[in-house]
Structure 1
Amino acid sequence: MGELIILVPKRKVAGYIGAGSDALANMVNHVASSLTIPGSVPTGDTVDYWNVIRELRIPRGTDKFRGSGSGEQTSTFYPSLDGYVFDNGNQSLTWSAIVAEPGTTANDFANPTTIMNISAKPGEADKWMTLYRSIFLFSISSLPQNISISSAVFSVWGSAKVDSAGIAPDINVYGSNPASTSALVGGDFDSLGATAFCDTPITYAGWDTAGYNDFTLNAAGLAAIVNRGITKFGLRNANYDVAEENDPGNHAPNWTSGTGATLQSYMVEQGGGRRPKLVVTYIDLAGAGATWNEGSNLRSFDENAIERKYIHTDDVDDTPVNGETEFPISSNWSFDHVAAADPHVGYVLESLLDAKGDLYVASADNTPVKLTVGANNEYLVAASGETTGQKWQTIPATDVEVSELSTATYDDVQDYENFFGDRTILTGGAISDNGDGTLTVAAGTAWAKETDSDTAVGKFFDFSADNSVALTDVTTNYIYLDYNGGTPQIVVATSILTHGFKQDHVLVGTSFRDGVISHFHHVDTVGIGRMGRVDMHHREEHAVHRVDGIVTSSVGTRNLSITAGVLYEGISR
């Protein structure tokens, strides 16, 4: 029969507060090192095993106090319950419907087993037959009561994977809330949450079928760990299942009749080293915050139960005392702790500069802040919405002013370009005959208005090749490049008036189709040097054009009289 020994300290016994005899401290040391508690702890362990000294806060040895001081520790837990839950979709449901189903079936004893599955209904387009999720419960009761969890990893050992649908499903860990902690039912299917407990889902390609697949828990996952209770996790597909729940109607997998995708793992029934596990890293906070005097020093346990030492004596005056240099605290309150002038006023610390070109500017509260140097060819501009009041950027055409009268409505380079820019092919756009009644228009670059409006914004853009431009037979076809709201496309009309005056269409060429043969002409890049082309047109057609005057009449013998007049040579008057 075992005996229970309870040590109750008398708070004023000499030795506890560092004065007089240390009899009590010596007595506790003696008890801790010599007595055992039969039947309750492993053979050979002493009263020290119970951490009596820590829990009852009894001094140990001369002027010593024992805290945990253990730093980070790790414990591993295995599921108290695990298994899969799924919905068979009444064998035929839309993706949105099956994701929102309550569930039909559960299994908490199979091993290895399916932990995620998506199956398409054979022969019924965009209908789904099954969707699997899985649940893992951990009973965490062996950790100290007062702990701080710093990290945790949830792991499952993969056993197989199949993706006949080619949809590459990923998987992530979420919360769950089954109706019971001792058995799973089909209705637990909709108990899984949609807030990820790990920041990085495991991809289908990354799923390991011969080792552990690790989910490092984020802040939400760590908060879900219940010490001295049941921690409830679940696994579900992230890129289709959870995405659909968070944004219904937009994340259905690509449906292929009778195909599917599956991830499998070993469950707790496997035993040994392939069981699912939860590894928790924590700090035991027992004793944190305790403070006591040790001789002339002040000691305490910080929030991580690490012992700290402070000076607390009468003769501290800005110099170390008795060799103590750790956390000095002066007792000369009237001198050493008065408000002192900021020694950095008027200075910028060199250590703050860490890159060539960095600038330091004032924030709204007159605090110096760093403005990181911009990229090459960026310029520094005032920006009241920024913390720094300035920012680096490329200069948009809307910010480059032109000469204006007073506050003109249109006053920058972009406005000028919008009104005076000329729609044109810049490069590319060559036409070739496919020999089947269609043409190919090569890729190229162009400039046009965004819409057919005098005030619309003009833009440079690239366009892709069109390898099958359809033509109307036995007709002249007018081929245009349509800006199309930012998705350029080739369009064809049989009337030049259809697109001829539209400012968001650029003429590429004309073609007369005769069966499978097309007779085409690719227009010049007329927007480039347009006035020079107009001048050449006039000069080549008629070297000189008479406007008026220059009337001849006879004057005397063999003489002519010529009146004044106006001529155009090219476009020169």
Structure 2
Amino acid sequence: MRFLGDDHLKQPAMQKELVQYANTYQGRKDLCIQNNVPKNRSVISVGGNRVSWLTDQKYPGINGAKREINETKELVSLTTSFRCRHVFPHRIHEANIKGTLPFDINTDFQRPFRKRKRLYIPGISVKEAVAASSRTFNIFSNPHPETTSTDGMCGITGGDLAWHDIVIGAGTNAWANLAWNFHIYIKTSATTNQWDSNRRAAYLFDTSSLTSSARIISATLSIMSHNPGQGDTHTSPLTMDSNVFTCSLASNTDIIAADYNVANWGTDELSTTIAYGDWETTDLRNEFLLNDLGLTTISKTAVTKLGIRDTKYDVADQLDPNNHDPIWSAYPQHTWFSVYFTDWTGSDNDPFITIVTLNPADFGVGLGI
């Protein structure tokens, strides 16, 4: 890898990716800025030895920060954290080696350089390098009445079953057209060591606007917590963790109880798991940065289907049956995450997916050559 200087980090395409990365749980952890940048502030720039964010941020999330900057007629107030020289290029390099960086700095965003009078970018053909420019898509599900996509949950409610039977059982309920609700949820039954409820959430997005020629370089599923965001009333807290998985619904525009069938849900993690204690609460966004496998699940010409599942008990039992039962403590006891869905009034709190692409259709744009 060639050294990343400020001139590399300032490239618009790389800066856009770094800002998206710095506003995820994994990115803040890799850059070691989680204790510097407040959880309710969004990083808007990353330099060789500094990160900056809005001192006062009115709207949540990075899209809210961009909106505030666009609305502000005068300069916004920024807070900047300075570190020792070139610390962030080294941390970015380490993240690239670990595989937690959402792009490859050796191939995707190195500054173009000339050799023998020809333009080269490592890992990208000359034609693609000249043709490619970065595009960002923020894509939402349809509110009711749905036309191409939906969001909501399905599950078992009112059961009196062993945990494994809850995981593999037939769904009894489905919820769509929601303003907010508990998107994953576990509840005890009145019978000791038996269980009443489990839920899985589905988020579908019409991503056909990407077009088949797009090269997807990052994607982030963003879900906003509905106050208070989470709860666990068990004497021995279950502290569910959550991640993104594939899901296959019978319809793109509705959710039915039969969609809960475990055969419709994948078990390969498509992002970094968000632990219960790291789940953002009270009208803050939780962002799942999709990994390489997750990027392959995005449809460029149709509807992308993503599911949220508990990893500790639901997915774990499917992979290793009867060895990951939650601890039953009493009845009724609940563990849940509450979130906004698309039918909440307006779109500021809606779930959405942000997809960044390199699109060869934009020939010659964005490389400064």
- Classify the TM-score, shorter chain: 0.5 to 0.7
Partner residue of 1:116?
184
Question: Do the aligned residues in 2 keep the contact of 1:174 with 1:192 (CA within 8 Å)?
Answer: yes
Post-superposition CA distance 1:20-42 (Å, at most 9, x none): xxxxxxxxxxxxxxxxxxxxxxx
Secondary structure at 2:312 match in 1: helix
CA distance in 2 between partners of 1:93 and 1:139 (Å): 37
Determine the structure 1 residue equivalent to 2:230. Answer: 161
Match of 1:202 in 2: 274
- Partner of residue 134, structure 2: 72
Structure 1 distance, partners of 2:294, 2:214, is: 16
Instruction: Return the alpha-carbon distance in structure 2 between the equivalents of residues 139 and 68 of structure 1.
Output: 29
What's the CA shift for 1:220?
1.3
Which of 200, 208, 222 is the aligned partner of 1:133? 200
Residue 111 of structure 1: CA displacement? 1.5
How far, CA to CA, are the matches of 1:181 and 1:208 in structure 2? 28
Equivalent residues in 2 for 1:324-403, closer than 5 Å: none
Distance 1:244 1:145 in 2: 37
Inter-partner Cα distance in structure 1 for 2:155 and 2:347: 27
The one of 322, 338, 349 equivalent to 1:274 is 349
Partner of 1:81 in structure 2?
150
User: Counterparts of 1:487-506 in structure 2 under 5 Å?
Assistant: none
Decide whether aligned partners of structure 1 residues 68 and 272 sit closer, same or farther in structure 2, where only a CA change above 3 A counts: farther
Distance 1:262 1:248 in 2: 22
* TM-fit CA distance, 1:110: 1.9
Residues 273, 257 of structure 1: CA spacing in aligned structure 2 closer, same or farther, 3 A cutoff?
Answer: same
Q: Which amino acid aligns with 1:264?
A: S
Q: Aligned equivalents of 1:98 and 1:163: distance in 2?
A: 19
SS of the counterpart of 2:323? coil
Q: 2:323 aligns with which of 250, 259, 262?
A: 250
> 336, 339, 356: which one pairs with 1:265?
339
Mapped contact 2:178–2:342 kept (Cα < 8 A): no
Which residue number in structure 2 is paired with residue 240 of structure 1? Answer: 313
Contact map agreement 2:340 2:351 (CA 8 A) in 1: yes
Greater helix share, 1 or 2?
2
Show the counterpart of 1:60: none
- Per-residue displacement from partner, 1:97-117 (whole Å, max 9, x unpaired)? 100112111011121111000
The change in CA–CA distance for 1:244 and 1:85 in structure 2 (over 3 A counts) is same
Q: CA deviation at 1:186?
A: 0.2
Once the two structures are superposed, what CA deviation does each residue of 1:473-511 show, in whole Å capped at 9, x if it has no partner?
Answer: xxxxxxxxxxxxxxxxxxxxxxxxxxxxxxxxxxxxxxx
Inter-partner Cα distance in structure 1 for 2:268 and 2:323: 18
**TM-score if structure 2 supplies the norm length?**
0.58
1:139 partner amino acid = D
Residues 294-305 of structure 1 correspond to what in structure 2 (within 5 A)? none
TM-superposed deviation, 1:213: 0.2
Contact 1:284 1:305 in 2 (8 A): no
How far off is 1:268 after superposition? 0.7
Which residue pairs with 1:146 in the alignment?
A: 213
Counterparts of 1:158 and 1:214 in 2: how far apart (Å)?
Answer: 11
Shift in CA distance, 152/287, structure 1 to aligned 2, threshold 3 Å = closer
Return the offset for 1:142.
2.1
1:212/1:307 Cα in 2 relative to 1: closer, same or farther (>3 Å)? closer
Moved over 6 A (4+): 304-308
1:76-112 CA-partner distances (Å, limit 9, x unpaired): 1011300010112x52110111001121110111211
Structure 1 equivalent of residue 72 of structure 2: none
In structure 2, the residue matched to 1:330 is none
TM-score w.r.t. structure 1 length? 0.38
Does the residue aligned with 1:182 lie in a helix, a strand or coil? Answer: coil
Counterpart amino acid of residue 131 in structure 1: N
Q: 1:402 maps to which residue?
A: none
Secondary structure at the aligned position of 1:253 is classed as: coil
Q: 1:163 to 1:117 in 2, by over 3 A?
A: same
The structure-2 alpha-carbon separation of the partners of 1:156 and 1:287, relative to structure 1 and needing over 3 Å to count, comes to: closer
Once the 2 structures are TM-superposed, how far is the Cα of residue 144 of structure 1 from its aligned partner? 3.8
Which has the larger Rg?
1
- Helix, strand or coil for the counterpart of 2:337? strand
Asked if structure 2 preserves the Cα contact closer than 8 Å seen for 1:161 and 1:261, the reply is: yes
Aligned residue for 1:228? Answer: 301
1:442-484: CA deviation from partner (whole Å, max 9, x where unpaired): xxxxxxxxxxxxxxxxxxxxxxxxxxxxxxxxxxxxxxxxxxx
Q: Give distance in 2, aligned partners of 1:95 and 1:218.
A: 30
Cα pair 2:132 2:360 within 8 Å, conserved: no
Distance in structure 2 (CA, Å) of the matches to 1:175 and 1:305: 33
Alpha-carbon distance in structure 1 between the residues aligned to 2:181 and 2:233: 18
Deviation (angstroms), 1:179: 0.4
CA distance in 2 between partners of 1:153 and 1:145 (Å): 19
Aligned mates of 2:205, 2:268 — CA distance in 1: 19
Kindly state the Cα deviation for residue 145 of structure 1 after the two structures are TM-superposed.
3.4
The correspondence for 2:249, drawn from 175, 178, 185, is: 178
Tell me, yes or no, if the aligned pair for 2:153 and 2:199 is still in contact at 8 Å: yes
Distance 1:204 1:85 in 2: 21
Deviation, structure 1 residue 203: 1.4
Helix, strand or coil: the match of 2:274?
Answer: coil
Cα distance, 1:202 vs structure 2: 1.1
Contact 2:267 2:319 in 1 (8 A): yes
Instruction: Determine helix, strand or coil for the equivalent of 1:142.
Output: helix
List per-residue Cα deviations over 1:342-366 (Å, max 9, x = no partner).
xxxxxxxxxxxxxxxxxxxxxxxxx
- Give the corresponding residue for 1:561: none
- For 2:248 and 2:134, how far apart are their aligned partners in 1? 30
Q: Is the 8 A contact 1:179 1:188 kept in 2?
A: yes
- Which of 268, 280, 286 is the equivalent residue of 2:361? 286
**Distance (Å, rounded) in 1 between the aligned partners of 2:212 and 2:185:** 39
Matched residue type, 1:204:
Y
> What is the letter of the counterpart of residue 154 of structure 2?
V
* 2:164 corresponds to which of 72, 75, 96: 96
Note the residue ranges of structure 1 that are not aligned, 5 or more in a row: 1-64, 289-300, 309-573
Mapped contact 1:83–1:267 kept (Cα < 8 A): yes
